[in-house]
Structure 1
Amino acid sequence: MSEFARIAGAAGLPETLRGGVVAVGNFDGVHRGHRAVLDEALAIAGGRGLPALVLTFEPHPRSVFAPHVPLFRLTPAPAKARLLAALGFDAVVEQPFDRAFAALEPEAFVRDVLVGGLGIAHAVTGYDFHYGRERGGGPAELAAAGRAHGFGVSLAEAFCDEGGAVISSTRIRGCLAEGDAAGAAGLLGYRYTVAATVAAGRRLGRTLGYPTANMALAPETALRHGIYAVRLRRADGSLHDGVASFGRRPTVEDDGRPLLETFLFDFSGDLYGETCTVSLFGFLRGEEKFDDLEALTAQMRIDEAEARALLSDVRPLSALDARICFAG
């Protein structure tokens, strides 16, 4: 199998990947609802021996139309690409999105991007997918365009959870804002995972017996501040369990800059400058301000014990979760 590719725009697609089956959408989160579209594209591509591609848009269209409103992206482009690669796609085409692109007539989007750029054999989208100026193209128009240009079209219906509610990125963001890591994982189909470079901090944790790997997440990350049981993956692929604090460290400082600080169990080493991922397995408690460092350290010992207990019996939620959080 060829190496997974991230391609900046349809015009840059290699000839070897033209004529494929293309899943089209934003897919922020690559959650269980999205996989109704993605799995259909993979199945068609596999059955016909064609490349399996994803066409998405960067930056997220909401950031273009409402730049003043912070957008908590569940999966920034690099994270989304890692998930799509793990699912088995050959490439993701990250189509540059701006107001000029949004103003393309629906027919121009089909002609220039889908046909001219990608040379698609088949498109798979959600039932509510719209495209082109003022969202003038919809499922019916895409199907008609497929007949005119010689490509097939499949539409995936909305995917609901076990309670009958539609799974959406908005619901998942709500879970994470409440600290409901387990609820978010149930909707995603895998443990919510962040990636960042480990930076040097004040090294206070080291003096307390709890050295931490400090990671600054995107300012828009609307994750509840608190303590989580986590699993960290190093750049070399090795996995390490730990307990992490996300917040502003109210006992020792409050500079308004949230950090993810992860203490790894039974680990000694230098992670500075290394880009790691951290997957959230469970929420232990909210962020608190303690009277002194002794009280903080006592609570950290409790947090460590609870996190060890939680992580001792975890199982993969799906094949994707197994690849992200369990496979070394």
Structure 2
Amino acid sequence: MERLKSGAPIPAHLRGGIMALGNFDGFHLGHQAVVGRAVERARADGRPVIVATFDPHPMRLFHPDTPWFRLTSLDQRAALFERAGADAMLTFAFTHELAALEPDQFIHILAQDMGVAGVVTGEDFTFGRGRSGSVALLAQSHATSGIIAEAVPAVTNDAGEIVSSSRIRAALRAGDCATATRLLTRPFAIQGMVQHGDKLGRTIGFPTANIDLGHYLRPAYGIYAVRGLLRDGRVLDGAANLGIRPSFDPPKELLEPHFFDFAESLYDQCIEVQLIEFIRPEAKYEGLDALTAQIAADCDAARQILARTPHLA
């Protein structure tokens, strides 16, 4: 799958394509429905599929002090879009200049600069200055732009609730991994480079692969049953502390997975860690003996959880 950036020429073989347009952070069930419809339409007409996303997220541009809330990195989204059938991922650089465009100017970019033949979005998608552009306006522009527009209805769960990134974030903040997994169709996963730490874990028999949380949403601090996905395709079971490590001074916010029966070095490798189930909140322990005993108990609990949990990529 090709990765494109706004402002750069669209390759000739991707012009005349169908574009799924949205932010798609998390790529949950609702997002999958939009991209799935774009793929369906494109394949029926023999056209390429481009999935467009925005970076930074509009919220970050207008409210830069907002706490981190990302559910997926651009690399994760690219992999998910490719698996969904996209031929290319286009990242719009979301700037004040882009946000200030009149709706008809943005439509012109889609039609003329990018050669888009059709656009598929969610029903609530807006664009242009003051979010004044809508799917209806995009559809009405067909006579001049040539773009055929379609909106996909919101996806609801069994309780009739709309699937949304906000619901997923709320679930993760509450430590409710099961709900997040159900809405995402896969476990929430943090991807990052394994960095060197203080290496205390290896001295007590529980070495960890330390990962910075970066721009990801902060789920509930605590201990989790996790799975690690390595670049070579291997899947590792483990237990992880996500939080500030209250037993250590100074506190440092990290994701620290310990993978069972694994002794290889992961330093400077990019891995992905899935949060499978929340076990307990963080706690402070007096002395290494108490901490080591609790880690052993947490690992036993994680092994039991993972033994009954199927793998979901």
**TM-score (ref. length: structure 2):** 0.96
Q: 1:310 is matched with which residue: 286, 293, 305? A: 305
CA distance in 1, matches of 2:303, 2:142: 53
Please give the secondary structure, in 2, of the residue aligned with 1:273. coil
Q: What whole-Å deviation, never above 9, does each CA across 1:207-245 have from its counterpart, x for those lacking one?
A: 110011111111663211111111111222221111111
Q: Name the structure 1 match of 2:32.
A: 35
Confirm or deny: 8 A CA contact 2:21 2:120 kept in the other structure: yes
Kindly indicate whether the alpha-carbon contact (under 8 Å) linking 1:251 and 1:293 is maintained by their aligned counterparts in 2: no
Amino acid at match of 1:203: K
Q: For the residues of structure 2 that align with 1:33 and 1:268, how far apart are their CA atoms?
A: 40
Change (3 A) 1:10 1:147: farther
Deviations 1:157-179 (A, max 9, x none): 11111111111111111111111
Q: 1:173 aligns with which of 165, 169, 173?
A: 169
- Counterpart mapping for 1:194-233 below 5 A: 194-218=190-214, 221-233=217-229
Pairwise CA distance, 1:68: 2.2
**Partner in structure 2 of residue 145 of structure 1:** 141
What is the identity percentage for the equivalent residue pairs of Structure 1 and Structure 2? 41
Among 108, 114, 124, the alignment partner of 1:111 is: 108
The secondary structure found in structure 2 opposite 1:190 is coil
Q: Following the alignment from structure 2 to structure 1, what is the Cα–Cα distance between the partners of residues 32 and 303?
A: 32
Shift of 1:246: 0.6
| Counterpart pick for 2:237 among 227, 235, 241 | 241
Deviation per residue, 1:267-320 (Å, 9 max, x gap): 11111000111011111111111122111111111111111111112225xxxx
Which residue is equivalent to 1:276?
A: 271
CA contact (8 A) 2:72 2:216 kept: no
Out of 90, 94, 106, which is 2:91 matched to? 94
Does residue 47 of structure 2 align to residue 47 of structure 1?
A: no
Matched, 1:26 2:23: yes
Counterpart-to-counterpart distance in 2, 1:220 and 1:308 = 26
Q: Does 2:300 correspond to 1:293? A: no
Tell me, yes or no, if the aligned pair for 1:10 and 1:118 is still in contact at 8 Å.
no
Query: Equivalents in 2 of 1:219, 1:150: separation in Å?
Result: 38
1:260 maps to which residue?
Answer: 255
Query: Could you tell me how far apart the structure 2 residues matched to 1:198 and 1:192 are?
Result: 18
After TM superposition, give the deviation of residue 28 of structure 1 in Å.
Answer: 1.1
For this pair of structures, how many residues does the alignment match?
313
Taking only aligned residues, the RMSD between alpha carbons, in angstroms, comes to 1.4
Aligned counterparts of 2:103 and 2:248: Cα–Cα separation in 1:
55
Secondary structure class of the residue paired with 2:97: helix
Could you tell me how far apart the structure 1 residues matched to 2:297 and 2:74 are? Answer: 36
Partner letter of residue 207 of structure 2? P
> What CA distance in whole angstroms lies between the structure 1 residues aligned with 2:166 and 2:153?
18
Gaps of 5+ in 2: none
Gaps of 5+ in 1: none
